[in-house]
Amino acid sequence: MLQFDLLKTDPSSHARRGTLTLNHGVVQTPIFMPVGTYGTVKGVMPRSLHEMGAQIILGNTFHLWMRPGLDIMKGFGGLHQFEKWDKPILTDSGGFQVWSLGEMRKITEEGVTFASPVNGDKLFMSPEVSMQIQTILNSDIVMQLDECTPYETKGHLTTEAEARKSMEMSRRWAVRSKDEFARLENPNALFGIVQGGMFENLRQESLEALVEMDFPGYAIGGVSVGEPKEQMLQIMAHTPHRLPAHKPRYLMGVGTPEDLVQGVADGVDMFDCVMPTRNARNGTVFTRFGDLKLRNARHKNDPQPLDTSCTCHACAGASGVSWDQGGRDGFSRAYMHHLDRCGEMLGPMLTTIHNLHYYLNLMREVRESLDAGQFSQFRAQFKSDRARGV
Ligand SMILES: CNc1nc2c(CCNCC3CCCC3)c3nc(N)[nH]c(=O)c3cc2[nH]1
Ligand SMILES: [Zn+2]
């Protein structure tokens, strides 16, 4: 089941404020969705995800199919019980992940054949198989199996003809995904995925065909695949606001804090990205006033927390009072720099909590500015804060 209620639209952009009601709960949009590939948001306990305000997290069909496998998933009645997350979950169809296997796969109209990266077994993924797996996972939002059209292959830019071929196969796989989803009587929501590469005419054809099929929600795929930033911004400016206003729009695999705010302005409701979690593990920290590299010696003796405005456990400790508000319970940059230098596991645990809290809090501030009709003022403040430097 899926119910999307549009609460407010911003007069000076395509930004909108909404509420998404799913089987496992209600999600306020615009929203950032933490990525939990193997059934865990790496290094973060579900209780911490609740504390930082995570409303929906991502799982991955491909990875969970490989390990722990469908029998175990079936035994637990799905991913919620297995990973002890009781709020909504969105699963990707596995297409993008199989593509990332590179040479180890063979694509035909029927589906994708590939060698398991876990034990080398020959495996086959089709729209039907992907729907069967996602039904066992019982995710609240299911993604169709699609082909993520590459931006370039071995230095050769994807041509319009190649992008068309790929987009048309994804459209045929959308039909097969929808038919199988219905045959399985899955009570959750299936999203169609718009493809078309960097070609606006193909994006238009793709979205029109998917809208015709009347999905409960839509994703924009095929971006953040190594294309120049301005090309991604061009697709963001073209496609999201042309999708049905009364249905949720999900931009896959995007992006930096700036990309998220721009995406909201372009009419996007949902985002996922590995940046906050992956960058946290290599000591790159997002803050209101710019990004910082923990490894840098300038942090060696700095008593301030990662972000002086932040109320997360790393920056404000148990009191939750930020440095700027007089709080002194957070960990210092000096300590975080030390943990990074020593390779201590507490380091990535704390930077992950902070980075996720930063992304989730950014979206909370976006929602509040939309509620107050202040989104354009928020964007100006966000831009100047981020340029201030840490
Ligand atoms: C990082 N850039 C990017 N990601 C893309 C993704 C993956 C989005 N993230 C999924 C989570 C990661 C692990 C658990 C699920 C894409 N997925 C699909 N199905 N199609 C795309 O065109 C597609 C395109 C994408 N571009
Ligand atoms: Zn913090």
pLDDT tens-digit readout, 369-383: 999 999 999 999 999
| DSSP state at residue 154 | T
1 CA → ligand 1 middle, Å:
23
What is the set of active-site residues? 92, 272
Ligand nearest to the CA of 255: 1
Contact 105, 155 (CB under 8 A): no
Ligand 1, CB within 6 Å, residue ranges: 35, 37, 58, 60, 92-93, 95-96, 143, 146, 148, 193, 221-222, 224-225, 252-253, 272
Q: Using the predicted structure, report yes or no on whether residue 296 has a pLDDT greater than 90.
A: yes
Q: What would the two tokens of residue 199 be? A: 């070609």
| Beta strands 57-60; 89-92: pairing state | parallel
Ligand nearest to the CA of 316: 2
Binding-site entries = 92-96, 146, 195, 222, 310, 312, 315, 354
Binding-site entries for Zn(2+) = 310, 312, 315, 354
pLDDT of residue 132: 98
159 CA → ligand 1 middle, Å:
21
pLDDT of residue 170: 98
What is the best residue among 252, 256, 272 to mutate for testing ligand 1's pocket, by most ligand atoms within 8 Å of CB?
Answer: 252
Distance CA 48, CA 82 (A): 17
Q: Long-range contacts made by residues 22-27, C-beta under 8 angstroms, separation at least 24?
A: 22/56, 22/88, 22/140, 22/141, 22/188, 22/189, 23/88, 23/140, 23/187, 23/188, 24/80, 24/86, 24/87, 24/88, 24/89, 24/140, 25/55, 25/86, 25/87, 25/88, 26/55, 27/55, 27/56, 27/88
Note residues around ion ligand 2 (Cβ under 5 angstroms): 307, 310, 312, 314-315, 354
- Average pLDDT over the chain, rounded to whole? 97
Q: Using the predicted structure, report yes or no on whether residue 74 has a pLDDT greater than 80.
A: yes
* Nearest ligand 1 atom to alpha carbon 252: 8
71 CA → ligand 2 middle, Å:
39
Ligand nearest to the CA of 94: 1
Query: What is the average per-residue pLDDT within 116-127?
Result: 92
Tens digits of residue pLDDT in 154-168 = 999 999 999 999 999
| DSSP state at residue 35 | B
CA distances from 88 to 91, 108, 222, 226 (A): 10, 33, 24, 30
- pTM here is 0.98
Q: What are phi and psi of 351, to 5 degrees?
A: -70, -30
CA distances from 87 to 7, 83, 138, 357, 367 (A): 22, 11, 12, 17, 20
Tens digits of residue pLDDT in 318-366 = 999 999 999 999 999 999 999 999 999 999 999 999 999 999 999 999 9
* Nearest ligand 1 atom to alpha carbon 222: 22
CA nearest neighbour of 52 among 253, 277, 281, 340: 277
CA nearest neighbour of 386 among 256, 269, 249: 256
* Nearest ligand 1 atom to alpha carbon 92: 15
Q: What would the two tokens of residue 235 be? A: 């697709």
286 CA → ligand 2 middle, Å:
9
46-59 b/e with 16+ CB inside 10 Å = b? bebbeebebbbbbb
For residue 18, the cross-strand partners are 6, 29
Distance CA 102, CA 92 (A): 18
Q: Percent of the chain at pLDDT above 90?
A: 95
pLDDT of residue 137: 98
Q: What would the two tokens of residue 171 be? A: 């459209």
pLDDT of residue 215: 98
Q: Using the predicted structure, report yes or no on whether residue 224 has a pLDDT greater than 80.
A: yes
Q: What would the two tokens of residue 387 be? A: 């340029």
Q: Hey, what amino acid is at 289?
A: F
List of residues 6+ apart from 335 with CB closer than 8 A: none
Q: Percent of the chain at pLDDT above 70?
A: 100
Q: Using the predicted structure, report yes or no on whether residue 98 has a pLDDT greater than 90.
A: no
Report which protein residue has its CA nearest ligand 1's atom 1: 253
Q: Using the predicted structure, report yes or no on whether residue 102 has a pLDDT greater than 80.
A: no
Element housing 152 (H / E): strand 152-153
309 CA → ligand 1 middle, Å:
31
Distance CA 96, CA 292 (A): 30
CA distances from 27 to 17, 358, 367 (A): 11, 18, 12
- Report ipTM (2 d.p.): 0.99
Report which protein residue has its CA nearest ligand 1's atom 2: 253
